Amino acid sequence: MQCEKIEVPMRDGEYIPLLMVYDSRTYTASEQENNWIFFTNGFDSTKTDLVFQPSRLSLTQRGIVCAFPMLRGK
């Protein structure tokens, strides 16, 4: 399993830091064919939303990228 922090452009031109978790055996960055699941609680997101959850391992093993926005409510 790999973790990577990237910056994703939004429609308004701002960039949002995003933590992506994926299985390097199934992730194909150049082909952009992997499905992504964004885990967020919107305005109510907290640091505990980023804790390790073993249930997400099966998602990454199927080629899905689990993504977590690093912004929290103000």
Other C-beta atoms closer than 10 Å to the C-beta of 69 total 17
Residue 23 lies in a domain: yes
Please check whether residue 18 is in contact with residue 7, taking contact to mean a CB–CB distance below 8 angstroms.
yes
Domain ranges, residue 41: 2-69
**How many structural domains compose the chain?**
1
pLDDT tens-place values along the chain, 74 residues long: 788 888 888 888 888 888 888 888 877 666 667 777 777 666 666 666 666 666 677 888 888 888 888 765 44
* Amino acid of residue 65: V
Residue 74 lies in a domain: no
Instruction: Please indicate, yes or no, whether the overall pTM of this predicted structure exceeds 0.85.
Output: no
